[in-house]
């Protein structure tokens, strides 16, 4: 089993998959191999089907089931070079609306943070639509204050993209970056180096609790709110797609359901 996992690691690294994806694929394959028990290198469609059914019975999310199916397909197609077709359809993902904060709620959350660096981090993540991974990986050289843009390098999917920099934060970010070199992290930890994603998420969680906002919001809700508020301001959905770095316009269009003014203007008959 370990031999096959090692081969998979090498192939994923050669193809420049992210460390997060590699870890997820290995976890999925380890789980599948444990289920299969023997003959890991021989694809068995019935066995794969039973594995997916077992995941369903354990109430695994559609996203998790699809990840495991992707990993299994990758293993047999790219590592084993098997010609056996694995034609299972991916699980239908639930179409949940994202947790979006109002402008007042965003300001209330940010205002509840006392640490200046953390306050700027949350403000910038909302004002530029950053993922938590992008916020903690942001380097001084990525911010272009003259053009009011941020160049995010190798973001999700190993893609570069440009997003906007909120002019309101210009002085604060200049003070924060003073004395730092271009390769330094903007939001470095107190011990130096990169702030962890979990630390950033904890900053948001504490701020949400302190502000007493009763919503199931996460750090990513700042990004959801950024997109929704841009659409409310009349920004074209295709520009929002570009700022968020979505490959498919349908991913961005989910926010049009959140901000639908026609629904908000309908009055209940009660």
Catalytic site residues?
131, 156, 220, 223, 246, 255
Question: Taking a C-beta distance cutoff of 8 angstroms, is the pair 138, 185 a contact?
Answer: yes
Region of 139 (left: φ > 0; alpha: ψ -120 to 50; beta: rest) is beta
Per-residue tokens: 166? 């909120």
For 206, counting Cβ atoms within 10 Å of its Cβ (0-12 exposed, 13-18 middle, 19+ buried), the class is middle
For 150, counting Cβ atoms within 10 Å of its Cβ (0-12 exposed, 13-18 middle, 19+ buried), the class is buried
Q: Identify the residue whose tokens are 């193809």.
A: 15
Per-residue tokens: 260? 């639908």
């Amino acid at each position: 089993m370990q031999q096959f996992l090692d081969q998979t690691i090498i192939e994923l690294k050669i193809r420049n998959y992210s460390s997060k994806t590699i870890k997820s694929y290995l976890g999925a394959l380890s789980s599948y191999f444990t289920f299969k028990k023997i003959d890991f290198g021989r694809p068995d469609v019935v066995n794969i089907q039973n594995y997916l059914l077992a995941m369903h019975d354990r109430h695994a999310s559609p996203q998790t089931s699809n990840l495991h199916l992707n990993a299994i397909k990758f293993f047999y197609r790219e590592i084993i070079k098997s010609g056996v077709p694995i034609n299972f359809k991916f699980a239908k993902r639930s179409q949940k609306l994202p947790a979006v904060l109002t402008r007042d709620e965003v300001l209330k959350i940010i205002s509840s943070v006392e640490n200046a660096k953390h306050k700027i981090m949350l403000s910038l993540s909302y004002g530029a639509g950053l993922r938590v991974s992008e916020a903690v990986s942001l380097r001084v050289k990525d911010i272009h204050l003259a053009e009011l843009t941020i160049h995010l390098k190798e973001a999700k999917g190993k893609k570069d993209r440009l997003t906007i920099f909120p002019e309101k934060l210009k002085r604060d970010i200049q003070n924060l970056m003073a004395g730092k070199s271009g390769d330094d992290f903007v939001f470095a930890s107190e011990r130096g180096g990169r702030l962890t994603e979990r630390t950033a998420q904890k900053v948001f969680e504490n701020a949400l609790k302190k502000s007493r906002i009763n919503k199931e919001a996460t750090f990513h809700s700042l990004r959801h709110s950024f997109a929704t508020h841009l659409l409310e301001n009349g920004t074209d959905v295709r520009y929002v797609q570009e700022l968020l770095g979505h490959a498919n316009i349908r991913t961005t269009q989910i926010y049009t359901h959140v901000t639908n003014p026609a629904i908000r203007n309908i009055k209940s008959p009660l």
